[in-house]
Structure 1
Amino acid sequence: MSDASGRQSLTAWELEPAVDYIERVQRSDGLVLWYPDGPADPWDHVESAMGLSVAGRHEAARRAYRWVAEAQHDDGAMWATYGDSEDGDGSHAGDEPRKETHRSAYVAVGVWHHYRCTGDRSFLEVLWPTVRDALGFACRQQAPTGEIYWTVGADGEVYEDALVSGCASIYKSLACGAAVADELGHSDDRDRWLEARTRLGEAIRSRPDRFDRTWESKSRYAMDWFYPVLCGVLTDDPARRRLEAGMDRFLEAGLGCRCVDDEPWVTVAESCELVVSLAAVGRAERAREIYEWLFRWTDDGGIFWTGYQFEDEEFWPGERPTWTSGAALLAADALSGLSPAWDLFLESLFE
């Protein structure tokens, strides 16, 4: 049921199963795994925590952010992925441990989002060192030309190439971190991050030669298409033109957004992020239409699958990621104002 403004509630969107699922998969130490007994990564962990905040599950969200604070390394970074065991000190998962800048920095977005949802200043103060150190790590990897390098190896070696989507995510992280610093009176940090953000934005908008220099171009991925809009690098008419230019490549009518333009596979998380991007440029009706398509891709309990392979007509892969539910909650919030932070991705911080 909608109210007079057209907004819907969490119940009306039938998103309670998504929230319950995130909280059910969350470990006792606060880490939100991708799915039961699965791995985890810091970016998707924060996305899931943001979904909890939207739904008012504030204690579960605080546990998630406490996990980040405890797992963060002395240099402000985190491993790109984590294992599924609660034993030990939260060691990395995978054969090549690395520290990805956008995954480490995204905690700034989550912390500012949770504060916007709750007004809990004590939470902001406790998480301030975590935000400060995470953004410090990312900014130390900024090239003279403005882009922020993708990752640092376990041996400290910097991989000197950059991702458009990763850098766009850091652009948003720097804005949210600056908002945290501004709220707490840390003007030097705020100014330093805003200066880094300005140089990063200029690189994303004007220096395509600085991205994908040592690997195959990622332009086939939908995230490269809409992330500069989602994260505020592009706004207004340039943002609308960018989205319009990619619709024929990535949007599959009635199904959702393809993950990559050359595969018959729509994914719920990318579709939800496209929904928020469209809402940010004033295309709310189109955004709502796409969002409503996505409820086809839930299981019998109302939990979202990763996506749908529409040539084979099967859910693929056969997983229901917590971060997909988190993205669905954030999209509903952007459309329906479920939380006080509903406009986090719709407003431009620090023009």
Structure 2
Amino acid sequence: MSSPERTELLVLPGVLTADQAAHTIRGLLAVQRSDGAIPWFRGHHLDPWDHTEAAMALDVAGEHEAAERAYDWLGRHQNDDGSWYAAYQDGDAGDVTDRGRESNFVAYVAVGVWHHYLSTGDEAFLDRMWPTVRSAVEWVLGLQQPGGQIGWKRETDGTPVDDALLTGSSSIHHALGCALAIADAVESPQPDWELALGALGHAIRRHPERFLDKNRYSMDWYYPVLGGALRGTEAKDRIEADWEKFVVPGLGVRCVVPNPWVTGGESAELALALWAMGESDRALTILQDIQHLRDSRTGLYWTGYVFEDRAVWPEELTTWTAGSVLLAVAALGGDDATCQVFGGELLPSGVEPDCCV
């Protein structure tokens, strides 16, 4: 169970008290199934990306056994080719409801595994999960395009979709850095991954034309920062350029413009990106602004809020929204594992190509 020390780490003025943090942790644990799976909410589906984000939140709360069960679930359900399906229905059977396979969903296991290792120091866990991470990364890199960007999925029949999404590729950039850190820790160098990471980072930084135009979505705005492809002045310039476009003062971050809809997950992830840029004050403000999404009954968070209608929508208390809030709070609170994973300074950066490809 989470210790008082871990709960105190999640105390943040205007965001969480110790009792509220403990309540949110209990809310996450109540949704996790006995087999380790963490669906969006009971009765809904699980996807590997959001499942992992919620598992990381369990680790920051000190619920390491519960987090490990979540990663073991991934290990048991990985396809022979290294991938996972896009969605699994909640329930004892865990039936697949979307047989597409999305590259950023598959890659994110590396972020979670590295975070769990840094949280626990469990070398046996890292050794056990290394084959899972390795095969997942190899599957993802099978979708990398000559320009460095990553095709976003394979269709249900296995047909690759070469079009790349900036959000997805930025998340994969983060995952590749974590995967290389794992490879170093288990003494299994992966020079091809270093080249792939360098080419991907170059594409994100220098070639926006290689990605589908989704600039209406806030994730495309902040994910190059959150995923570590942009740092320093480049990161600050990107965030400043569209701040007023996406941030609604006092309410949070729009999911997509011009819709009058703020969402908790995007807001908390932006707070993580701001923290990584060294702007903790603005990160704190964003987290304070979304506390209107907190549900006092469960300790979880509503997915979003339509502010023109003054209405919660959809009426879903999603584990990944609560997970992203806890991760952002943990970073601001100085949790070492979370800071290492999202700060990025200690992650491998890859080998950038000498010229454009």
The one-letter amino acid paired with 2:303 is T
Residue number in structure 2 paired with 1:347:
344
1:292 aligns with 2:291: no
The one-letter amino acid paired with 1:317 is P
1:265-296 C-alpha deviation (Å, 9 max, x unpaired) = 11111000000111111111111111112212
Residue number in structure 2 paired with 1:65:
71
Hey, what's the Cα distance between the residues in 1 that align with 2:175 and 2:59? Answer: 17
Quote the offset at 1:28 in angstroms: 1.2
Hey, what's the Cα distance between the residues in 2 that align with 1:171 and 1:25? Answer: 30
Hey, what's the Cα distance between the residues in 1 that align with 2:177 and 2:335? Answer: 22
Larger mean Cα displacement after TM superposition, 241-250 or 300-309: 300-309
Quote the offset at 1:338 in angstroms: 3.7
Hey, what's the Cα distance between the residues in 2 that align with 1:194 and 1:339? Answer: 25
> What secondary structure does 2:338 align onto?
coil
Residue number in structure 2 paired with 1:273:
269
1:306 aligns with 2:308: no
> What secondary structure does 2:295 align onto?
coil
Larger mean Cα displacement after TM superposition, 226-235 or 78-87: 78-87
Quote the offset at 1:158 in angstroms: 0.4
Hey, what's the Cα distance between the residues in 2 that align with 1:46 and 1:195? Answer: 26
> Which residue, out of 39, 51, 54, partners 1:48?
54
Quote the offset at 1:339 in angstroms: 5.0
Quote the offset at 1:85 in angstroms: 2.3
The one-letter amino acid paired with 1:244 is E
1:94-152 C-alpha deviation (Å, 9 max, x unpaired) = 4xx21111101100000000001111111100100110010000011111111110111
Residue number in structure 2 paired with 1:101:
103
1:133-175 C-alpha deviation (Å, 9 max, x unpaired) = 1000001111111111011123221011010000000000100
Quote the offset at 1:342 in angstroms: 2.9
Quote the offset at 1:11 in angstroms: 4.7
Q: Relative to structure 1, is the Cα distance of residues 158 and 340 closer, same or farther in structure 2, using a 3 angstrom cutoff?
A: closer
Contact 1:228–1:234 (CA under 8 A) maintained in structure 2: yes
Hey, what's the Cα distance between the residues in 1 that align with 2:268 and 2:156? Answer: 33
Hey, what's the Cα distance between the residues in 1 that align with 2:117 and 2:269? Answer: 21
1:27-46 C-alpha deviation (Å, 9 max, x unpaired) = 11111010011111000000
Q: Note the residue ranges of structure 2 that are not aligned, 5 or more in a row.
A: 1-6, 350-357
Quote the offset at 1:8 in angstroms: 6.1
Quote the offset at 1:79 in angstroms: 0.3
Hey, what's the Cα distance between the residues in 2 that align with 1:49 and 1:105? Answer: 15
The one-letter amino acid paired with 1:18 is T
> What secondary structure does 1:93 align onto?
strand
Hey, what's the Cα distance between the residues in 2 that align with 1:114 and 1:266? Answer: 30
Hey, what's the Cα distance between the residues in 1 that align with 2:150 and 2:333? Answer: 34
Larger mean Cα displacement after TM superposition, 197-206 or 247-256: 197-206
Quote the offset at 1:224 in angstroms: 0.1
Larger mean Cα displacement after TM superposition, 339-348 or 59-68: 339-348
Residue number in structure 2 paired with 1:336:
333
Residue number in structure 2 paired with 1:255:
251
> What secondary structure does 1:174 align onto?
helix
Hey, what's the Cα distance between the residues in 2 that align with 1:221 and 1:304? Answer: 21
Contact 2:300–2:319 (CA under 8 A) maintained in structure 1: no
Q: Note the residue ranges of structure 1 that are not aligned, 5 or more in a row.
A: 1-6
Hey, what's the Cα distance between the residues in 1 that align with 2:280 and 2:91? Answer: 41
TM-score, normalised relative to structure 2: 0.91
Residue number in structure 2 paired with 1:264:
260
Contact 2:275–2:283 (CA under 8 A) maintained in structure 1: yes
Count of paired positions? 335
Between the aligned residues of both structures, percent identity stands at 44
> What secondary structure does 2:305 align onto?
strand
Contact 2:252–2:290 (CA under 8 A) maintained in structure 1: yes
Q: Relative to structure 1, is the Cα distance of residues 59 and 347 closer, same or farther in structure 2, using a 3 angstrom cutoff?
A: same
> What secondary structure does 2:69 align onto?
helix
1:144 aligns with 2:146: yes
Contact 1:306–1:321 (CA under 8 A) maintained in structure 2: yes
The one-letter amino acid paired with 2:140 is A
Residue number in structure 1 paired with 2:3:
none
> Which residue, out of 20, 25, 28, partners 1:19?
25
Hey, what's the Cα distance between the residues in 1 that align with 2:269 and 2:170? Answer: 13
> What secondary structure does 2:101 align onto?
strand
Larger mean Cα displacement after TM superposition, 122-131 or 291-300: 291-300
Contact 1:108–1:176 (CA under 8 A) maintained in structure 2: yes
Hey, what's the Cα distance between the residues in 1 that align with 2:317 and 2:125? Answer: 30
Residue number in structure 1 paired with 2:112:
110
1:194 aligns with 2:200: no
